[in-house]
Amino acid sequence: MVLFTLCATFLCTFVLPLALFLAALKLWEVYCLSRKDPSCEKPLPPGSMGLPFLGETLQLVLQRYTFLKMKVRKYGHIYKTHLFGNPTVRIMGAENVKQILLGEHKLVSVQWPASVRTILGAGCLSSLHHTEHKHRKRVILKAFSREALENYIPVMGEEIRAGLRRWLESGSCVLVYPEIKRLMFGIAMRILLGFEPTHTTRQTQQELIEAFEEMIRNLFSLPIDVPFSGLYRVRIKQRRKREGIDPEKFRAVLFCVASELKESATELLFGGHDTTASTATSLVTFLALHPEVLQKVRVELQEQGLLSSDSAENKQITLELLEQLKYTGSVIKETLRLSPPVPGGFRVALKTFVLNGYQIPKGWNVIYSICDTHDVATNFSKKDEFNPDRFMEGCSEKDACRFSYIPFGGGSRSCVGKEFAKILLKIFTMELVRACDWELLNGPPMMKTNPTVYPVDNLPTKFTPFRNKM
């Protein structure tokens, strides 16, 4: 009798739950595979669909780099999975990406996860389609015209020089990543939203930064709005109440924005500060780890009369002059190749189509990977090395397949602010190398993505004034 009771207890406690769990997994797999289009003879890509309903979202969020590398090793350049509540195909490689980026409105359409659409708003540029997208894009591009960019240069230089002075005056360890985020946020607020520093206190600015960054941290989360979920934390009503921030401080951000751009204000701030902060932090890292590259940047600045302590402030910096900094531009390109701030883009299949021998069923999400496409590109020699010369004139790698190098995406959905970002990063590099020497106190950092690439340790760095001996 005792033995019977023990066996029954064991079966109820361990065997039955395990059997139910395995049955649920099998049913989930069968359900997901039933989404295959029977009219297409091609098979689905290889891969797994993860846990019931949750799919593999938790593994992606918690173990992003390890998870994605394991998937590539196991399944190759195209595989199926289940992410953010939807069956998904993840792709990489120039030819695969080319078909997706050039298939906008024919094969695929942009569709970011539900959490992104909720947080950024349904009216933001990345969520619009067809004529609405074209109209909004035209409006936003006016803010990035050549004339407008020329007017932004003095503000960029002023803010960056002030930030670098604070780093030098600190005399101690500077956590570069949060400092650069603060710097880039201030620039984006002034230029993109017309928010002058005199109109707000430093405390209010910090509150805005913290609130905005909480939104960004939870952009990619499970599409459920329950306590402790990412969506719940970033809902403005709950956040204002919890943090006690005056709602007028949030509305003030939009006062200076044209009515047609109000829906894109959050998106502009994200693109204008978070991605550039990620790349600027990577620039600090790569230049510290490669002093020979840093020296070549300084030689180029010297040739343009920009290296002396006051030259960049007294000499008028123009777009034409910045365009002469070819090697500096190549350093930025190489940084974006090895460490693209945005890991990829999201689409949804408008109809069933075939990609690289596999069917992509209608309604499935498609994620194209920027970082993995750079990693698997065959046209870059010694692709793990930091070598800006590969982007200089005369190098065969410079004009290789354009879909092997896509830090700003491509096609009709390429980043509208890419010229703004390039100029901002070039001015940041110029001001940094002419003003500072620096040392990474922890050596090469471990990188993480959430949602942009950043150093886990925040890149503690010691800055000292640069003494020009050239």
The DSSP secondary structure of 242-282, one letter per residue, reads HHT--HHHHHHHHHTS-GGGGGGHHHHHIIIIIHHHHHHHH
Give the separation between CA 445 and CA 385, rounded to whole angstroms: 16
245 pLDDT exceeds 50?
A: no
Q: What is the pLDDT of residues 127-148, one digit of tens each?
A: 667 777 777 777 777 778 899 8
Q: Which domains does the chain have, with CATH numbers?
A: 130-342+386-465 (1.10.630.10)
* The pLDDT of residue 242 is above 90: no
CA distance 21 to 10: 16
**Stretch among 87-101, 241-255, 275-289, 437-451 having the lowest mean pLDDT:** 241-255
Q: Tell me the average pLDDT across 335-364.
A: 94
Q: Give pLDDT, residue 253.
A: 38
**Annotated binding-site positions for heme:** 415
| CA atoms within a 13 Å half-sphere pointing along the CA-CB vector of 197 | 12
| pLDDT, tens digit, 9 for 90 and up, residues 294-328 | 999 999 999 998 987 565 455 688 999 999 999 99
Whether the model clears a pTM of 0.75, i.e. scores above it, the answer is yes
pLDDT for 388 beyond 90: yes
pLDDT band at residue 261 using 50, 70 and 90 as cut-offs: low
DSSP letters spanning 407-463 = TT--GGGS-TTHHHHHHHHHHHHHHHHHHEEEEETT-SPPEEESSSEEETT--EEEE
> What backbone torsions phi and psi does residue 449 show, to the nearest 5 degrees?
-125, 125
Binding site per annotation, positions: 415
Distance CA 433, CA 287 (A): 9
Q: Per-residue pLDDT averaged across 275-290, rounded?
A: 96
Supply the pLDDT for residue 201. Answer: 55
| Burial group, residue 208, by CB count within 10 angstroms (0-12, 13-18, 19+) | buried
Q: How far is CA 335 from CA 31, 87, 434, in A?
A: 42, 33, 19
